[in-house]
Structure 1
């Protein structure tokens, strides 16, 4: 790539196509100065999430293309923690040198890079009590969990003292959900892989269930809310566990994007509406039912800054940007610890 003289450059981990035939390659890439209402962040840490691995294979291409988030070469990544190094016109409350963190919505210029351009609404000032590598694992998942709570009608008023089931509790979303539910006063049943169940107990779960050793059908039908972060095939079984006076259910593993990829925008939309309607019919009268997707929320991100220390992952596995392929394999293989890139390290 020819870099114009004087053009600021970032090192990025990029792909030139989708699927296994296209390797992640670290390369220089020019980035423009921030426009009005933008900032440039020097990235100290950027998490690699399961959605990054799936997008690399082409998942969600039809919808993400409408957002300009599939242009090649494509740089993936949403989460980041770093330092503001340039501020565009009209930006208030932020200045060069500020430590910030956040999650950039899906784009073709993601956070797996030494520098990233973001909007101020997508960042908050970093708390000093948690290191950048741990902090970078939280924004995308925290905001997704908060949205799942809203989709399911979960609040202190609706679940305090009541039973709530988290399916996929040993993953990144599930761990955050367990901790937040305990803060809301819920009695949490955490269902997940055996190796992560002790962490769920440490996070405040009342009961843990090994998903590979005990069936969902064996659990009582008394839950005020259920959350599915694990497997769409088990959706109906989870809905049957809701009590007659349940507040709701939300899932992040719904087939929405997959339907669009497989069937196209029109037929995929029709299939998604029909599928969602069929599952909604299984929910008790008056309960909510939601298919949750990530959406950036400034107020939610700001609230994360006040509680990030209590939500930090137990284990973080860091990789320099030059080892980005290993970081992606770490996530693909579901190895222990949250994978985090450190772009400023060689």
Structure 2
């Protein structure tokens, strides 16, 4: 089978498409024929070596974290899935490999594909949906009636984060472009700020939580709208001591992350709030809950119209890193 592999960490890495053996599932794995793989910013974090302290891969490693496909074989102890079923997954961080014609996945990381979505749109759900779900439930500990602000929430993250937040009983505020306002309003948000016309930090009442999708340039504004004791959860700004301790990393890694996140923690403490960073993990049971929300709300994530094959994987990575995609970038098999 063909697979796109990373051969070494470097800032301007390129993947190499090779012929490698088709894998055989272990007793707890399913073999999946990949129909569509999604390309995410995490690919660049992995390829550049930016997250090798969290997960360091032996080389070469087949890349790709998110997919949809068809089960073609099951291990001897697999009970939840059968040959022929249509599934989707955020692959376990320790064993990625979505950029290949076939991949073996632990059944605990897999869920049946939402019935309202085709393979293309299903491939765009898993990683984003799990990020939102784990962010609200585990990192923030959000409770019904509390409030969350999502700067830049009119994008692909907001498409899933907003309905999940509403499912959990949260009041949701979002900033974004004019194009995203109607969609966000239809999902039942409390306030929308068109960033070209108004500054949310000048008009927003203090909130319990902020989810950062933008990065450090937005930090001061995000901290300014949090209530005392509130929490800022970033998808972009990097890990800190709390992240290392929560993930029970070694003393050495804890010290490194403490130093790397020191400035973020210092600014958060000065504002009287907590800083959290999330690195989403695979979880098929959570993905099944997200599936129900996607089906009930008929959520259809945006996908970029540019079509890529596996041979064009580096062009797809470039679009995610430096282009302006109009939704999730996909590789079709």
User: TM-score range, shorter-chain basis?
Assistant: 0.7 to 0.9
Q: Which residue of 1 aligns with 2:10?
A: 19
- SS of the residue 2:153 aligns to: coil
**Compared with structure 1, are the counterparts of its residues 186 and 63 closer, same or farther at alpha carbon in structure 2 (3 Å cutoff)?**
closer
Is the CA contact (8 Å cut-off) linking 1:239 and 1:282 kept in structure 2? Answer: no
Moved more, 91-100 or 268-277: 268-277
Q: How does 1:61-210 map to 2 (within 5 A)?
A: 61-65=52-56, 70-107=57-94, 109-150=96-137, 151-155=139-143, 157-159=144-146, 163-193=147-177, 195-210=179-194
Query: Does 1:342 pair with 2:315?
Result: no
Is the CA contact (8 Å cut-off) linking 1:189 and 1:208 kept in structure 2? Answer: yes
- SS of the residue 1:226 aligns to: strand
**Compared with structure 1, are the counterparts of its residues 95 and 185 closer, same or farther at alpha carbon in structure 2 (3 Å cutoff)?**
closer
Match of 1:303 among 283, 289, 292: 289
d(CA) in 1 for partners of 2:267 and 2:12? Answer: 37
Q: Which residue of 1 aligns with 2:259?
A: 271
**Compared with structure 1, are the counterparts of its residues 247 and 299 closer, same or farther at alpha carbon in structure 2 (3 Å cutoff)?**
farther
User: What CA deviation, in whole Å up to 9, does each residue of 1:195-241 have, x standing for no partner?
Assistant: 54444334433433244654454233422322112113433431221
TM-fit CA distance, 1:323 = 2.1
User: What CA deviation, in whole Å up to 9, does each residue of 1:39-82 have, x standing for no partner?
Assistant: 111111111111113322222123211xxxx2222222111111
TM-fit CA distance, 1:107 = 4.0
Q: Which residue of 1 aligns with 2:310?
A: 321
Instruction: Give the gaps of 5 or more residues in structure 1.
Output: 1-9
Q: How does 1:236-251 map to 2 (within 5 A)?
A: 236-244=220-228, 248-251=231-234
- SS of the residue 1:144 aligns to: helix
TM-fit CA distance, 1:252 = 1.7
Match of 1:36 among 9, 23, 27: 27
The number of residues matched between the two structures is 319
Is the CA contact (8 Å cut-off) linking 2:156 and 2:327 kept in structure 1? Answer: no
Match of 1:223 among 184, 207, 217: 207
TM-fit CA distance, 1:194 = 5.1
TM-fit CA distance, 1:266 = 5.6
Match of 1:331 among 287, 309, 320: 320
Moved more, 218-227 or 196-205: 196-205
Is the CA contact (8 Å cut-off) linking 1:84 and 1:96 kept in structure 2? Answer: yes
Instruction: Give the gaps of 5 or more residues in structure 2.
Output: 245-251
- SS of the residue 1:281 aligns to: helix
d(CA) in 1 for partners of 2:227 and 2:12? Answer: 48
- SS of the residue 1:319 aligns to: coil
TM-score scaled by structure 1?
Answer: 0.81
Is the CA contact (8 Å cut-off) linking 1:121 and 1:298 kept in structure 2? Answer: yes
Q: Which residue of 1 aligns with 2:248?
A: none
TM-fit CA distance, 1:83 = 0.9
d(CA) in 1 for partners of 2:190 and 2:200? Answer: 17
Is the CA contact (8 Å cut-off) linking 2:208 and 2:226 kept in structure 1? Answer: yes
Query: Does 1:254 pair with 2:242?
Result: no
User: What CA deviation, in whole Å up to 9, does each residue of 1:242-295 have, x standing for no partner?
Assistant: 235x753322223228x99xxx836413315644642442465xx765322212
- SS of the residue 2:308 aligns to: strand
